[in-house]
Amino acid sequence: VRQIAGYLLFVWRYRLKLKGIENLPKSAPVLLLGNHISWIDFALIQWATPRTIRFVVHEDYYNMLIFKWVLIAVGAVPIRPSNSRNAMQNIVSLLNKNCVVGIFPEGEISTNGELSDLKRGFEKILSESRDDVVVVPFAINDMWGTF
């Protein structure tokens, strides 16, 4: 997964400057929560992170042929906002298996580079997950308006 993300970033010529990567636990279940600036946010974060991240992706994008093979390869979790129960159960199950799950709680890519209102699904996920899930916030800066 990291190799795919690294290749995409190399091809698109992005350079990353990381701060706080040491805050990501090596083995505990982790819920990553961050802003959503571009189509390649998942690749940026995955490349920068030593653990595999299972990102939550809107079902419409998951089912598009152009994206589907990449999203399957990286283990994305499809979600349909109008009926999210199955996806929520899948996310809780992944966290209970010590996985890292990434969520963009805005639910969509920013239209102006500013943080939008957050959807509340991550709160429900945390209430149904193990008590030792570590929440790690992240921010992507200086990327708005890119690919």
Q: Hunting for tokens 């690294």 — which residue is that?
A: 6
Q: Which residue range forms the structural domain that includes residue 53? A: 32-138
Task: Report if residue 114 sits inside a domain.
Answer: yes
> Which band of pLDDT confidence, cut at 50, 70 and 90, is reported for residue 139?
confident
Rounded to whole angstroms, the Cα distance separating 8 from 111 reads 23
Task: Report if residue 15 sits inside a domain.
Answer: no
Q: Hunting for tokens 């298996």 — which residue is that?
A: 97
33-79: pLDDT as tens digits: 988 777 777 777 887 788 999 999 989 888 888 888 888 888 899 99
Task: Report if residue 21 sits inside a domain.
Answer: no
Hey, how many other C-beta atoms are within 10 angstroms of the C-beta on 37? 22
Rounded mean pLDDT, 133-138? 92
The pLDDT, as a whole number, for residue 7 is 59
Task: Report if residue 7 sits inside a domain.
Answer: no
Q: Is pLDDT above 60 for 131?
A: yes
Task: Report if residue 104 sits inside a domain.
Answer: yes
76-121: pLDDT as tens digits: 999 988 888 899 999 999 999 999 999 988 876 666 766 777 788 8
Beta strand spans in the chain (E)? 30-34, 53-58, 77-79, 100-103, 134-138
Rounded to whole angstroms, the Cα distance separating 107 from 86 reads 17
5-35: pLDDT as tens digits: 565 555 555 566 667 778 889 999 999 998 8
Coil, strand or helix at 56: strand
Task: Report if residue 3 sits inside a domain.
Answer: no
pTM above 0.85, yes or no: no
Q: Are 2 and 51 in contact (CB under 8 A)?
A: no
Task: Report if residue 112 sits inside a domain.
Answer: yes
Beta-carbon contacts of 27 under 8 Å, excluding residues fewer than 6 positions away, are 98
**How many structural domains compose the chain?**
1
Q: What is the DSSP letter of 69?
A: H
Task: Report if residue 60 sits inside a domain.
Answer: yes
